[in-house]
Amino acid sequence: MSRCRVCSHPIREFFDFERQPLSSAFPRTGELDEEYFFRLAVGMCESCTLVQLIDAVPPERAHHQGYPYHSAASSVMCKHFEQTARRFLETELTGADPFVVEIGANDGVMLRTCGDAGVRHLAVEPSGATGVRAHRAFFDAHAATRIRDADGTADVVYAANTICGVTDLQPVFEGLDVLLAPDGVFVFEDPYLGEIIERTSFDQIYDEHVFFFTVRAVGALADRFGFELVDIERLPVHGGQIRYTLARPGRREPSPAVADALRTEQAHGLAELVTLERFAARVQRIRDDLVALLHELRADGARIVGYGATAKSSTMANYCGIGPELIPFVCDTTPAKQGRLTPGSHIPVRPVEAFADPYPDFALLFAWNHAEEIMAKERAFREAGGRWILYVPQVHIV
């Protein structure tokens, strides 16, 4: 039986996507024999209600040896990280000589903005690929001790799209206990289970997302590791996230937003298995609708391409069985993905220039989390008669 990675109680499985590849491992044509697959299934802890993957990819098989790397290809995300830094500069980093640390560093946009304002900063990132001052390590008590000895305690430790992928959180919290100043805060943001359920955004479930947090589960997790959840904030990025602020117990007055969110979660049944079973039924419906629509359009002679070879679209394409016979290519701005194939589904990835050469009849928006930005940039596609196909919160054409 699978057990919760935080509290060791049994996990109740509610959905099985079956055989799935590593969402960031884009093979070349000659490398298909070496692709790694695992069973992607999700369940909920009977005790602390934390939703999590049943099986995680062993670290030695994980494509990234470090934390999930997120490119700053999106101008919306760059702005988001700049605003995050500005907020910290106005609230938490106002002391005499403040110090901010980021676990994983998302291209360093947040830390660079703090650095430009004269604030001491450090990324903790095993690959070191951050573009800012970095300590090359996984964040744990050992790394935290070395950092504290060199730089002193931290006023803010921040992590975006990172904590949900760390299978063993104990060492992270041991590190926080070492590094955080008495009144310091740990702020992290990740996809929100409430949004995933509400939008049926099942493609948020993939190898690099091990945990699907709720306010309730994070509150329990904070208690367990000797911290307290003192604030939460909903974020619109990446299809709906929550930013959690944790402090040492009793150091901060919890904001009313926490209690409000707990009430909302209860009203939406987020801690009940039946809610997740209903979600599972909607996921199957989306697959059936999407596959039927693509076959119908192809039968009518329409040309359909994909847009944005995101990690999350790996789950969508593999779960729906969508390959190059339905979608001849997917375009993406990331040079490292171009010329390769999408993981498991083997759709060729081409530069975005291929999109308009000539425009297809339909574009399946794999990167629906960047819909606004991409649709604005590609306005000419619709003006030329093209249509976008989206599959979240249900299959629809715009």
Chain residues in the site for Zn ion (CB under 5 A): 4, 6-7, 9, 45, 47-48, 50
Nearer to ligand TMP, 47 or 334 (CB): 334
CB of 8 to Zn ion, least distance (A): 7
> What does R_g of the chain's alpha carbons equal in angstroms?
21
DSSP string for 254-274: PPHHHHHHHHHHHHTTTT-HH
Residue 127 interacts with which of Zn ion, ligand TMP, none, CB < 5 to 8 Å by class = none
Hey, what's the torsion of the CAs at 324, 327, 333, 339, to 10 degrees? 20
Residue 7 interacts with which of ligand TMP, Zn ion, none, CB < 5 to 8 Å by class = Zn ion
Q: Which residues contact 277 (CB under 8 A, 6 or more apart)?
A: 14
Nearer to Zn ion, 45 or 258 (CB): 45
Strand ranges of the sheet holding 396-397, from the earlier edge strand across to the other edge: 349-350, 330-331, 304-307, 362-365, 387-390, 396-397
Nearer to ligand TMP, 219 or 348 (CB): 348
CB of 238 to ligand TMP, least distance (A): 6
Nearer to ligand TMP, 241 or 369 (CB): 369
Residue 31: both structure tokens together: 């490398």
SS (H, E, C) 201-219: CHHHCCCCCCEEECHHHHH
Nearer to ligand TMP, 49 or 74 (CB): 74
Nearer to ligand TMP, 40 or 93 (CB): 40
CB of 282 to Zn ion, least distance (A): 25
Residue 48 interacts with which of ligand TMP, Zn ion, none, CB < 5 to 8 Å by class = Zn ion
Residue 291 interacts with which of ligand TMP, Zn ion, none, CB < 5 to 8 Å by class = none
Residue 311 interacts with which of ligand TMP, Zn ion, none, CB < 5 to 8 Å by class = ligand TMP
Query: Contact 23/311 with Cβ under 8 angstroms?
Result: yes
Nearer to ligand TMP, 67 or 173 (CB): 67
Residue 374 interacts with which of ligand TMP, Zn ion, none, CB < 5 to 8 Å by class = ligand TMP
Question: What gap in Å lies between CA 97 and CA 118, rounded to an integer?
Answer: 9
Residue nearest to ligand TMP (CB): 308
Nearest to 212 by CA among 224, 223, 199: 199
DSSP strand pairing (211-212 vs 37-45): unpaired
Give the distance from CA 42 to its chain's centroid: 15
Residue 309 interacts with which of Zn ion, ligand TMP, none, CB < 5 to 8 Å by class = ligand TMP
Applying CB under 6 A, the residues found at the interface with ligand TMP are: 70, 73-74, 308-311, 332-334, 337, 352, 367, 369-370, 373-374, 377
CB of 6 to Zn ion, least distance (A): 5
Q: Which residues contact 301 (CB under 8 A, 6 or more apart)?
A: none
Nearer to ligand TMP, 261 or 389 (CB): 389
Rounded to whole angstroms, the maximal C-alpha distance in the chain is 67
Query: Contact 35/21 with Cβ under 8 angstroms?
Result: yes
Residue 170 interacts with which of Zn ion, ligand TMP, none, CB < 5 to 8 Å by class = none
- Cα-based distances in Å from 242 to 175, 190, 333, 377: 22, 6, 27, 27
CB of 3 to Zn ion, least distance (A): 8
CB of 263 to ligand TMP, least distance (A): 31
